Amino acid sequence: MGIWKTPVDIEILNQLGHGTLVEALGIVFTEVGDDYLEARMPVDHRTRQPAGILHGGASAALAETIGSVASVLCVDDMTRQQPVGIELNISHLRSVRAGWVVGRATPLRLGRRLHHWHIEIRDHDDRSIAIARLTTMIIERRQQGV
């Protein structure tokens, strides 16, 4: 189980993205390990910029998606707490025109109130195309009707 406080079912993670940006961009969770979570995203008409290369915003959305979901899986009490993204920075290292990119989130630090994630995005030739760092804050869930 590693760092995860909740058992991880890839099929359920993929169902959660229906009707969201995750589905629109074609992001699919593919692998989970003791201390990492992976997802892939196509480089196609949905994720390319007009110049024909992967849009930096699509890479950022992939990084934030993986890191945020990883944080959800690390929360002690999901009925009372939820992570929210408070900072994302990403460096784009190489362009991609087609195929798939795969992002892998690993924790830098998992504190009681802040989670810091390192997300590396690689292309179909296993070349690093982007490096991101995501910080999520763990907040108390608001009660219904309040």
Q: Look at the chain and report how many structural domains it folds into.
A: 1
Residue 114 sits in a domain whose CATH number is: 3.10.129.10
Residues 6 or more apart from 43 whose CB is under 8 A from it? 54, 96, 97, 98, 99, 100, 101
Residues 6 or more apart from 11 whose CB is under 8 A from it? none
- 113 touches 119 (CB < 8 A): no
- What domain range is 92 assigned to? 10-140
Whether 29 is covered by a domain: the verdict is yes
Whether 5 is covered by a domain: the verdict is no
Q: Which of 95, 99, 138 is nearest to 116 (CA)?
A: 138
Active site residue 38: no
Which of 11, 23, 38, 64 does the annotation list as catalytic? 64
Whether 2 is covered by a domain: the verdict is no
Global pTM?
0.94
pLDDT beneath 70, residues of the chain: 1, 143-146
Whether 64 is covered by a domain: the verdict is yes
pLDDT at 65: 98
Whether 4 is covered by a domain: the verdict is no
pLDDT tens column, 45-58: 999 999 999 999 99
Q: Is 16 helix (H, G, I), strand (E, B) or coil?
A: helix
